[in-house]
Structure 1
Amino acid sequence: MASRLRERDAMSFVIRGLSPEPFQPLFALDDAALAARNIRCVVADADRGFPCRVTLQDARQGETLLLLPFLHHDVSGPYRASGPIYVREVALSGGVAEFRDELPPSFPRRLLSLRAYDADGLMRDADVVEGIDAIPHLQRLLDLPGVAYLHVHNARPGCYACRVDPA
């Protein structure tokens, strides 16, 4: 009974991938036009290691992706941040990935950096956790006073993975 109470009282959350719309015109560009925008077209050489920020799934070997700079924390202040992301070409045909109170399939096998921000985009707390154990940590951070949302990064390479909002 105590575990049910804990589950019922836990902060509910939603994880969403990026919208595919801003990336659609990029796949029509040639290598020179992509390079002028600091973008590279790559082909996944393994089934792991190419995490798409739209589908929140790893690309499969042989899939085409773009590797591009992305402003993932567009705030005024010291925590404004950008970094490299992958977007799979097949992601353009679907909608925005959404996971409610669960992790995307690729997260449990990664080391994750969780960063909690307030409504002004200032970091309030952070943690590094094994992906398999991430859910209670996401809920704990979202439950802190003043926390408006979280960012998840793949801790080893440090790249942005997604945003987490209270549901």
Structure 2
Amino acid sequence: MTIRFLPMPTETAAVYRSGGPDAYGMAPERHVSDGDGVPCRHCLRLVGAGEPYLILAHRPFPALQPYAETGPVFIHADPCKAYEPSHTMPPMLTSRDYIVRGYSAENRILYGTGALVPNAEIPAYAQTLLAREDVAYLHIRSARNNCYQCRVERTPLLRHGRA
């Protein structure tokens, strides 16, 4: 089994960039990056010094429910190319460790899956969790602030040349 890291959907980023409301019903805040630790959840790269970015409350779940965590995230203020889903670790994951947590098909936290994982061990831990039938997908979250970073899923099986 292989895994893939996924960005915030382009459609979601476009809504935020056009001033659409965040998870709390507020317009995203616009700032200029100092180049230090501003990870864009759409291109999964760091926002460079001098580049404008948005801060907003993001809920990476389809509906409200007790486990639908909401938190602050950053995205480039100007359109950027979405990270191509890949088994390669996104370039913005530069901290020494992250929280990796599994969720069910019902978008509920699966207790016992969450762990503080050293950066280099994230792909192996993700493969271990996604080998379980009860784990539908994973979130990678900041180990210091619990902010959502990206989603991890199984790579779809190719059948007759298609996913």
TM-score clears 0.5: yes
Of 82, 89, 94, which aligns to 2:70? 82
Q: 1:39 to 1:110 in 2, by over 3 A?
A: farther
* Counterpart contact for 2:40–2:92, Cα < 8 Å: no
How far apart are the structure 2 equivalents of 1:102 and 1:113? 18
How far apart are the structure 1 equivalents of 2:60 and 2:125? 21
1:118-150 Cα offsets, whole Å, 9 max, x none, are 111122221111212211111111112311110
Give the aligned partner of residue 46 of structure 2: 58
How far apart are the structure 1 equivalents of 2:13 and 2:129? 31
CA shift, 1:108, in A, is 4.5
Of 85, 91, 114, which aligns to 1:105? 91
Long gaps (5+) in structure 1: 1-10
Give the aligned partner of residue 9 of structure 2: 19
CA shift, 1:115, in A, is 0.8
**Structure with the higher fraction of residues in strand conformation:** 1
How far apart are the structure 2 equivalents of 1:146 and 1:59? 35
Report the RMSD for the aligned CA atoms in angstroms: 2.3
Give the aligned partner of residue 140 of structure 1: 128
How far apart are the structure 2 equivalents of 1:44 and 1:140? 36
When normalised by structure 1's length, the TM-score is 0.79
Q: 1:13 to 1:26 in 2, by over 3 A?
A: closer
* Counterpart contact for 1:112–1:131, Cα < 8 Å: yes
Q: 1:77 to 1:44 in 2, by over 3 A?
A: same
How far apart are the structure 2 equivalents of 1:129 and 1:163? 15
Matched AA of 2:10? P
Which is higher, the Rg of structure 1 or of structure 2? 1
How far apart are the structure 2 equivalents of 1:132 and 1:98? 20
How far apart are the structure 2 equivalents of 1:88 and 1:161? 14
Of 34, 37, 44, which aligns to 2:33? 44
How far apart are the structure 1 equivalents of 2:14 and 2:109? 32
When normalised by structure 2's length, the TM-score is 0.81
